[in-house]
Structure 1
Amino acid sequence: MKQLYLVTDKEQLQLYQDFLIHHQEKWQSYIHYLKKNYQVTDLPQAILWTDLETATKILRDCPIPAYTNEVRMVMTPEIEVWKSIYLRQLEDYPISPETKEIATYYSSLSDRHLLQIIGHELAHQSDCFLDYEEETMWFEEGMVEYISRCYFLSDQEFEAEKRVNEQLVQLFQAQNGYHPLSEFGKATYQGNYASIFYKYWRSFLAIDFLVQRFGSISAVFADYHRWNDEGRPVDLLTWFNLRI
């Protein structure tokens, strides 16, 4: 993959290049892991490293500064930007011990979480997934989040992230009611950050539940493909008997 930079000044260019040089071996090893374990054969032709405004307003109207397709991946490699985005999930909730705990967690994120975001986007290239359809979007988004977290985060970090996700899901549902995973789709990105990440975190938690039930990621994928091979007799949520 080519490494491209769309920056506003030399300082920003240096910042992004330093991040790439410092962490390149780690995410290159991750790519090898994806190819070995998750049928990743083709990668985007380039990664475009750029800032928040360029990623979310100029290149694409999208509130999240990380996204990919077969041609290019876009990523903002600034941990302070991501801390701010995640903290904005709390804007509509009153201050409580729970929200303070969540805020403390997000304020302490490290570059490992940036690598996990990159890993999330690269895992979308897996041929283990069926065609990307809104019907199964929750499965793919939850699975790439799960795979990348397992790889880049320690066991303690994984569990801390999971706990925060569970808390945010509970906060959102207490205020806005329950929303089924089948609603994950293009309209997801028209909401605020709490609404957007609610769907991502629930998808991750669904995959975490399935991995615990089936015993491994590969076993979950096997049942997912059996659903497809048998002609998709019911929707995927019903197939997995998911009621979370």
Structure 2
Amino acid sequence: MTLQKETPILTAQIRALYRELDKKFHLRGANIPITFGFETDSLGAYNQNGHGQREHFHFSLLFIGYAVKNPLSKEDRLDLYKHEYAHYMQYNMTIPKLCQWQPGIHGSAWKYCCSLVGAAPTPYYKAGEALMNHNYDKVLKNPIHDKTVTIRDQHRREQEYKRTQNVIVKYETGENVDHPKFGEGTIVKIEQQPGSVTLHIRFGEEVKVIDQKWLIQTKYKKGKIQRD
């Protein structure tokens, strides 16, 4: 796929920016793994260690890829990278007590980090916002008036938790599953990928590749593990 061929270039661009920020703030964000996906409702994310996953940055190629129909502008793409770096900063550097009064993923600590890197201090993407002059002093002192932000933050945490669950391998090679169409099958191979786990299941002479998440959601019966 054309978009996937762009990942080395995008990775180099992001790491170059993060190296500059690392040098300025004495951090190591440029050393953190960067992954890419094809999400339609999320531009990017910074994920901490935990819930079965390792720390990493993640970006959707459907927004930052050059081959898509309407990619982000250069300025908005840069702002996105800074937005996620600010999330990394809020968990990896000392935040002044005056900037710890508002909780949440996009609370005062994160907005303080945005002020340091020059990112738009707003939770959701708006085209052209990267070119605006933001009054960080006002943003840091005033609470968010949108009462749904806390709910959105909770929703985002729940969604991120669900995504992390998708990368935890919950089956074993040799384990049997009972498929409603193909009958009983045996897992012969497991592939763990960024954001998902795929199972290669042999049904008779044929091997089917099925997403583990789908298998769990449909509550396929699990059999005993075969032993040679």
Q: TM-score range by the shorter chain?
A: 0.3 to 0.5
> Higher helix share goes to which structure?
1
Structure whose alpha-carbon radius of gyration is higher: 2
What is the TM-score normalised by the length of structure 1? 0.38
